Structure 1
C-alpha cells in the first residue's frame, strides 16, 4: 500500500512539475509614445522595427496584434487583428507612415482606451494578454503638477488594478532616464510583467525579443562559438540573428554550402538589424554562421526530444527561493532510462540583465534524483531583470531553456504625517502573488540610542497593513517593516523594507523623511563629489543551497504565479506557527534588566521623598527655636 501511494505521488508529480512549452494563443497590444521627443530618443526608428519583430516572431493565426499611439490624445495606428501576411503588410506600412510630434504624454487616456477596447480575432479561450508600452517621458497632461500627480495616482491605483484583474501583462520600456520609472515599474510588477530601461535604441530589439520569449517560451539549441548542432529529433529551427546595419549575415549548412533564403523549406524575413529564418526539417550536423552578433542571437527549435523545466513566475520577490527541476522528454513522455540519463549533463546559469549585456551571478551543475535534475536558488537579494538558463548536454544532442523574470520588493512602505505628532504607516503588496492573509508584517521602530520596538501592523481588510503611531516629543526614530511573507503557492520568505526617519524637536510637529544625513556624512559626500569619485556598484547576492538541503526539497515545489498553477505548492505552515515565529518576545536577561531598572527608579523615588521630609523637619525645628 505504501509503495502504491509513493508510485501515485511520483506519477502525479511528473504532471505537476512539467508543462509543455507549447503556449496558449496570445494577444499583443503595442503602445507607442508619439510625443515629439521620440524623434530624439529614437532617430533610427528602431521602435518601428521592434514592433515588426513581434509580428514576425508570433505564430500566424495563433496571435492578434494591434498598435496604438498616445500623446496629446490616444489613437489607433493599426487595428487589432489576427497575425497573417496581410496584417504584417499593413503593419509595415503603418509604422513607416507616422511621425511623432505630440506635445503631451497622456498615459492615462491610452490605458483607459485599451481597457474599453473589446477583444477581436477569435482567439481560443484562455488566451494570454501581453501589452508592451514604449515611452521616453513623464505623465504630462497639464502645466499644473498637481493635475499630473492626480493622473499618476489613478494609473497606479485604479487602472493598474483593472489591468491585473483582467490578466493583462503590461510590459513597460523606458527610452530615457527622464521617465516615470516608479510608476511604470509598479504597474508592470502588479501585472506580472517586466519594466526595462534601455540606454540606447539598439537595446529595443533585445527587449522585445525577451518579452516575446516570456509570452511564448520555446526550446533552443545554443551557439558554440559561431557554430550550432542540429540533431535528428529537431523538426524545425528558427534562427533570430542580430547584426549591424548594412551587414548581411551568412548561414552555412553542415555540407559547407550557404543557406539560400528562398529554398523551399526556408521562410525568412530580412530586416535592417535582424534576420529571421525558419528552416523546416533542417539538415543534421554542425551549422555555421558569419557576421552575426552571437551574444544577442538565438536558435529556437521544435523537437521530439525535448527538455522541459518547472515554470518560474514572471515576478519573484526579493529573498524568495527558486525551486527548479529539469526533465528530458521523448514524444512528451518523461525519459526514465537511468543509463541514458547518466550520460546527460545539466547546468544552470543565472544572469542579471542590463540592456544588451548580462552579468553571470551563478553557474552550477544539477544533481539527478528520480530521473530529474534539481536545483534550488535560496534567494536573490536585489530587484532587477534576470535570466535563468538551463543547458542540457546529452553528448548526441544539446538543448537550452531560457526563462526571463523580474525580482521586485514584495511590499511598498510609506509614512505620512497625519497631525502634529501622529504618523500613518502603510505597507501595500506590489504583486497579487503575496498572500496577505497568511503573511505577517511588523513595524520596527529604532530610537537614537539603539533601542528597538516591534509593533504588529494590523491588516486593513484584505488589501494592506496600516498603523497610526504617536511620536513622543524630543525623539528621533527610524521605522521599517519586517515581513514574513507567504506566496499564494505557500513559499515562505523574509524581507525588510528601507527605513523612514521621524524627528520631533520638543513638542513641535514631527518631520518625516526618506533619509537621515548627519553633518559628517554630508561633508564626506561633498568631498567625494569634489574628488569625482565613481560610486561603487554592488553585485546582487545569490544564495545556493547545499546538496543535502536540496534532497529535502518538498516534492512539487515551483515558483508559478498563482495557486491554481500546475506545480504543487510547498506544504503550508500553520497561521499560528507563523504568528508565533513573527512575534518578538523578551528574554530572561531582558526581564532582569527591566526589573533592576524599575527597582532602582523606585529606590531613588523613595530616597528623594525621605530626604525631602528630613529637610522639611529640620526647617520646622529651626523656626521653633528662633
Structure 2
C-alpha cells in the first residue's frame, strides 16, 4: 500500500502544468536603491555592492519588474524600471560597474521619492524597495547633524510627504544599514511603517547575506535543501538555480548530474539549458528541464549557499510580517499548493512531514514537527502560533515539507525592534520603583500613543493604570509604591503607539518583577530602611542578613530592575553568618527553672491523657453513625427496587437520556470564559480621579484610566479602539 501511494504521488506531481507567476501571486516589483556617498569607501572598501547587485539581477525571475537607483547629492536611475528578461539583465550587469563612492552628500529623501516612479495604489505587482545606506540624511556640510535647517526640512518632508506615499501605495521598504553611523532609528521606523525588514550588516562581508534576506521577502522562492554539497530534484521541478558561495581558496565549481554528467562554466557556454554567472565569490547556475535525482556541487561550498527551484508544487507560507513587535503573537499558515490550489488530499499529507525551525537573534534554535498522520488538517493548512517573541533583532524561520518523492523549503527573516524603550529605576530612600517608557524615534506621535500598565500585587489582586506622558522627560511615567504591603509585585506593559505618519503598532514588553521593600547593597541604608518601615511579618526581601535567601531574592529583583547594580553583585560576599532577625534582641542566658519545667510537663501529660480518652469516645460515635448509614442505605435500595418495577419503558428511557446530558463533563466541554478568576485573582475597579502630572501606582489609590482628554476618549466606541478597555496579553485570562 505504501509503495502504491508513493507511485500515485509521483504521477500526480509529474503531470502538473508549467509554473506562471500571475496564477498564484502578483509578480514582484523590486526597486534597489544604493548609497554611493563618499563614506562608502570605508564601510564597503571592496565595493561588494557590485556583486550584490549582480546576484539580485540573476535571481530575479522572468516577468518581474525591477529598477536600480543610486544616490549621493543627486539621484540617478542607474537601471531603468522595466520587465526582467535577458536584455534587462545585460543592462544591469553593465551598470553595476558604475557603482562607486563619490557622492558628496546623502540625499536619502529624494532617492526614496524617485524610487516611487510608476508605483500605484492598485498595482498588479507586489512592490518593494530595498534601501542600502551607511549614513543618515545629510543635505549640507554638517556631516548629517539632524538639527541643521537643511536636514530638519528633509526629514520633515520624509515624514509628512514621502513616507505616506509609500504607505498609501502599499510599497514595502527593506532597509539595510551598513554602518554604526547610520540612522538606525529612522531606518527601522521606515521598515516598521511599511511592514519591511530593518537589517544591519556589521561588516562588508555581511552585505551579501543581508541582501539575500531582503530579496527573499521581496521575492519568496521555493528551495530544496542543500545538504553538504548534494540536493535532490524531483520530477515536478521545471528549473533550478544553484547559488554556490565559494570558500576563499576553493577550486572552480562544477555540477554533477544524477547520471554523472559534469557541468562547468565552460560547458555551460555551449548549452541552451544552462546559464552560468561567475562573480567575485559565488557561482549562480540555472539549469532548465533538469534530470531528476541527486545532484552534487563539486566545490568548497560556503555558508548561505542554496538551491532555488521553479516547480508546479509549491510550499506556501503566510502570516509572517516583516516587522515583529514584542509579545504580539504571529499566526503562521503553511501548505502545499498545486497550480494555486491547496493540497488537502489525505493520501499525500500522510506521506509528508512539515516542520518549522526558528532561530532567535541570540542564536538559539527551536524545531517542531507540525504534521501528524493521525491528526491532519482537513483544509490542508498547517497552523502554528509564535507567541511572546521579545528579543530585538533578526528571527530566521525555516519551513520544510518532505515527502517520499519531493522536498520543499522556505527561509524567511523577520526583524523585531522596539519602538519604545523601557527603563526601571528603584528609589530605595522613597521606596518607589520608577518605570519610564521612552520613544525610540521622533517619528512616534506621543500625543496619540498610549502606554497601559497592569500591576499585580502580593495579595493576588491587580490594577490597570494609564501611564501619563511627561513632555519634560519625553517619557510615559509610573511610580510604584507598596501600598498592598511588602512582597512580590509584577508590572506588565501594553503599548499602543501611533507613528507620525499614522501607522499603529502594538507592543507588550517583558514583565517587570519587583520585591518590596526595595533594598540597597549597603548595610547602613538597610538599617535606615528597616527603621522607616512599619512592623510586618517576615517576607521576601525584608531580612537583614546578607546571606538570607529571602533577602537575596529581593536583591535579585532590584538588580534586574537596575543594570547599575551588576557591578556591585560581583563584589566578594561577606562572611557567612547565621540568619536572624536583627530587630529582635537576642535573649539573655538564664538558669533553667526546673520546677516550672516539671509543672509544664505534668500539665502536658494531663492534656494528652484527656485527648486519648476523647479519641476513644469519638470512635464509638463514628461506629454508630456508620451503622445507621448502612441501615439507611439498605432501606433506600429496597424502596428504589420496588419503584423500578413500577417504571414504564418511557420513564426509563427519559431517565437514561437525562443521565447522559448531566454526566461528568470533560475539560473540552467547559467554557473557559466562565472561569476567568479561577486562580482567585481579583481585578480591582479603577475609579475616576483627577489628572496628575505623574501617575503613582498606588494599589489603594485612584487612577484615571483615560487619556489626558477624558471626554474625547469617552466618545470613542469599542469598535474604534479595540483593546484599551482590556489588557490583552495573549497568555493572560480575560479580565
TM-score range, shorter chain: 0.5 to 0.7
The answer to whether 1:360 aligns with 2:365 is: yes
Deviation (angstroms), 1:350: 0.7
Structure 1 residues 321-360: aligned runs within 5 Å: 321-352=329-360, 359-360=364-365
Q: Which whole-Å CA distance do the structure 2 matches of 1:401 and 1:145 have between them?
A: 40
Point out the structure with the larger strand share.
1
C-alpha deviations, 1:22-55, integer Å up to 9, x for none? Answer: 4423332222222222122222211111112222
Shift of 1:184: 1.2
SS class of match (2:53): helix
Alpha carbons 1:485, 1:495 under 8 Å: kept: no
Aligned length: 475
1:296 aligns with 2:304: yes
Aligned partner of 2:114 in structure 1 is: 114
Q: Any idea what the Cα deviations from partners look like across 1:429-469, whole Å, max 9, x if unmatched?
A: 99x9xxx99x97425799xxxxx98543699xxxxx99899
- TM-score between both structures, scaled by the size of structure 2: 0.55
1:261 corresponds to 2:261: no
Once residues 519 and 205 of structure 1 are traced to their aligned partners in structure 2, the CA distance between those partners, rounded to angstroms, is: 38
Aligned to 1:442: 452
User: What does 1:192-271 correspond to in 2, within 5 Å?
Assistant: 192-244=195-247, 247-259=251-263, 260-262=267-269, 263-271=271-279
Residue 288 of structure 1: how far off its partner (Å):
0.7
Q: How does 1:123-162 map to 2 (within 5 A)?
A: 125-140=123-138, 141-143=140-142, 146-147=147-148, 150=152, 153-154=155-156, 157-158=159-160, 159-162=162-165
Distance (whole Å) between structure 2 residues aligned to residue 526 and residue 192 of structure 1: 46
Q: Match of 2:725, SS? A: helix
Residue 285 of structure 2 aligns with which residue?
277
Q: Is the CA contact (8 Å cut-off) linking 2:185 and 2:440 kept in structure 1?
A: no
Q: Following the alignment from structure 1 to structure 2, what is the Cα–Cα distance between the partners of residues 393 and 212?
A: 24
Q: What residue in structure 2 maps to residue 456 of structure 1?
A: 466
| Pair 1:579 & 2:725 matched | yes
Structure-2 residue corresponding to 1:44: 46
Q: Distance in 1 between matches of 2:367 and 2:204?
A: 29
Task: State how far apart, in whole Å, the 2-side matches of 1:387 and 1:197 are.
Answer: 14
Check 1:311–1:239 CA distance in 2 against 1; reply closer, same or farther (3 A cut): farther
Q: Whose Rg is larger?
A: 2
Deviation for aligned residue 1:153: 4.6
Q: Distance in 1 between matches of 2:136 and 2:419?
A: 25
**Partner deviation per Cα, 1:478-516 (whole Å, 9 max, x = no partner):** x9982176999x9998446999xxxxxxxxxxxxxxx99
1:66-77 equivalence runs, <5 A = 66-70=68-72, 72-77=73-78
User: 1:131/1:362 Cα in 2 relative to 1: closer, same or farther (>3 Å)?
Assistant: same
CA distance in 2, matches of 1:339, 1:164: 44
Stretch of structure 1 that moved more, 222-231 or 72-81: 72-81
Three-state SS of the structure 2 residue aligned to 1:86 is: helix
Q: Offset of 1:127 from its aligned partner? A: 1.5
CA distance in 2, matches of 1:493, 1:134: 27
Native 8 Å contact 1:23 1:217 kept in 2: no
Partner of 2:92: 91
The answer on whether the counterparts of 1:55 and 1:65 sit within 8 Å (CA) in structure 2 is no
Q: Could you report, residue by residue, the CA deviation over 1:176-212 in whole angstroms, capped at 9, with x for unpaired residues?
A: 2222111111111112111211122222222222212
Shift of 1:251: 0.8
Q: Given that residues 395 and 414 in structure 2 are in contact (C-alpha distance below 8 angstroms), is that contact kept between their aligned partners in structure 1?
A: yes
1:91–1:484: structure 2 CA closer, same or farther, 3 Å change rule? Answer: closer
The separation in 1 between residues aligned to 2:722 and 2:95, in whole angstroms, is 59
**Which protein has greater RCO, CA pairs closer than 8 Å, 6+ apart?**
1
How far apart are 1:349 and its partner, in Å? 0.3
- CA distance in 2: counterparts of 1:83 and 1:526, whole angstroms: 64
Q: Is the 8 A contact 1:254 1:287 kept in 2?
A: yes
Change in Cα spacing, 1:492 to 1:315, as seen in structure 2 (3 Å) is closer
Tell whether the 8 Å contact from 1:322 to 1:378 is kept in structure 2 after alignment. yes
Superposition CA RMSD, Å: 4.8
**Cα distance between partner residues in 1 of 2:566 and 2:295:** 59
Residues 306/457 of structure 1: CA separation in 2 closer, same or farther (3 Å cut): same
Return the TM-score normalized by structure 1.
0.64
C-alpha distance 211-292 of structure 1, shift in aligned 2 (>3 A): farther
- Change in Cα spacing, 1:96 to 1:302, as seen in structure 2 (3 Å) is closer
Per the TM alignment, residue 217 of structure 1 is displaced from its structure 2 partner at its CA by: 0.9
**Bigger shift: residues 171-180 or 88-97:** 88-97
Tell whether the 8 Å contact from 1:349 to 1:389 is kept in structure 2 after alignment. yes
* C-alpha spacing 1:204/1:338, structure 2 compared with 1 (3 Å): same
Alignment check: 8 A CA contact 1:389 1:401 kept: yes
In the alignment, which residue of structure 1 is the partner of 2:64?
62
1:165 alignment counterpart:
168
Aligned partners of 2:106 and 2:136 also within 8 Å: yes
Contact 1:134/1:175, CA 8 A, preserved across alignment: yes
State the alpha-carbon separation in 2 of the partners of residues 331 and 57 from structure 1: 22
Secondary structure of 1:380's aligned partner: coil
Aligned residue number for residue 398 of structure 1: 407
TM-superposition CA deviations, 1:133-188 (whole Å, max 9, x none): 22222333343652176257526632433332332222111222222111111111
Q: Is the 8 A contact 2:323 2:416 kept in 1?
A: yes
Judged with a 3 Å threshold, the aligned counterparts in structure 2 of structure 1 residues 256 and 208 are, in CA distance, closer, same or farther, namely same
Residue 318 (structure 1) shift = 1.5
Cα distance in 2 for residues equivalent to 1:469 and 1:493: 17
Distance in 2 between residues matched to 1:289 and 1:125, nearest whole Å? 40
Q: Within 2, Cα distance between the matches of 1:97 and 1:458? A: 53
Residues 5-44 of structure 1 mapped to structure 2, 5 A cutoff = 22-44=24-46
2:317 is equivalent to residue 306 of structure 1? no
Q: What is the rounded CA distance, in whole Å, between the counterparts of 1:32 and 1:183 in structure 2?
A: 17
Indicate how the Cα distance of structure 1 residues 429 and 333 shifts in structure 2: closer, same or farther if over 3 A, else same: farther
Distance in 2 (alpha carbons) for counterparts of 1:164 and 1:328: 31
**Superposed, which structure 2 residues align to 1:533-552 within 5 Å?**
none
State how far apart, in whole Å, the 2-side matches of 1:323 and 1:574 are: 23
How many Å separate the matches in 2 of 1:97 and 1:219? 32
In structure 1, distance between residues paired with 2:477 and 2:337: 56
SS in 2 for 1:296: coil
Mapped to 1, the partners of 2:65 and 2:438 lie a distance apart of 38
Distance 2:109 2:720 in 1: 42
Deviations 1:283-337 (A, max 9, x none): 0111111224353111112223333333422222222222333333444444344
Unaligned runs of 5+ in 2: 1-20, 425-433, 457-461, 481-489, 514-559, 573-666, 672-717, 730-735
